[in-house]
Amino acid sequence: MASKTTADDSDESITISFGCDYAKSSNAKCHGKSCENEISKGTLRLSRLIRNPFIPQSSTREEQLMPVYYHVPCMINYLRTGNEKKKRITDVTNDLQGFTDLKKKDQDRLKKLFNYEEKLQGNLSETSSTANTTYLEHDEQKKYWQISIENRSTKTKYGLLNEPDSDAIILYKEFSNQSEAKTYYQTKIKEKLKGGYTLKKQTGDTTNTDNLIGIKRKRASTPAKRTKKQATIATRKQPTRSASMRKK
């Protein structure tokens, strides 16, 4: 039985390697952030191998490591978040210990899943030609915040202006359709603008964000419309042409 480790999933330094196997019992719980349900016996599971604090350093490498288990979708979600430089699975055949011991159908499933993840991340990268990206900065707090959208997926990236890019925190999200992704994209930009961030750069199709960012400017430059009552009062106050001529 794998005990619940005290190490938090946000501690990127603790993952030594990754593994996969079939649950030998239903005792182990998933360490997914919003899961923690049991992993049923016989279910395909993925694991992060971390140092076991109860084993002395003089032991062999294998003895020093303990698995932290995840359902497959929960591991995907774990890998989509966190520090930019944290250890991730990039090649299932090489990165997952025990991969060759899996059934062929499960090997194919994992290959398909992680190939999709690689494609998703590539489509949302800084060098992508298909993603729309909005980059904001908070001058007082010396922070930056960036969001990219491509089809029904988004990538958020944020950090401090003076720290290395590799220390940034990232979050990949996938939605059921493009409309939901666009709504999330626009909502998050609105929240940041209201929180004191200012636009610094945009790439791709900026039509939607131009409308969002231009709201305050438009309201400030457009004169307020007079009510019917205000217009009537203003007209009464202005002297007529004939009255003006009589005074002359």
Which domain covers residue 202, as residue numbers? Answer: 132-218
Are residues 86 and 24 part of one domain?
Answer: yes
Closest to 120 (Cα-Cα) out of 88, 149, 92, 86: 149
Q: Give residue 40's pLDDT.
A: 96
DSSP structure string for 5-67: -SS-TT-GGG--EEEEEE-SSS-PBP--TT---B--TT-EEEEEEEE-TTS-TTS-HHHHEEE
Mean pLDDT by 10 residues, the chain (248 residues): 42 79 95 91 95 67 80 96 90 96 97 95 91 96 97 96 91 96 97 97 72 48 52 52 45
Is 103 a domain residue?
A: yes
Is 230 a domain residue?
A: no
Is 240 a domain residue?
A: no
Is 102 a domain residue?
A: yes
CA distances from 146 to 1, 48, 49 (A): 41, 29, 31
Are residues 107 and 183 part of one domain?
Answer: no
Is 225 a domain residue?
A: no
Are residues 195 and 115 part of one domain?
Answer: no
Domain containing residue 18: CATH number? 3.30.1740.10
pTM for this one?
A: 0.74
Are residues 137 and 107 part of one domain?
Answer: no
Are residues 179 and 136 part of one domain?
Answer: yes
Domain containing residue 191: CATH number? 2.20.140.10
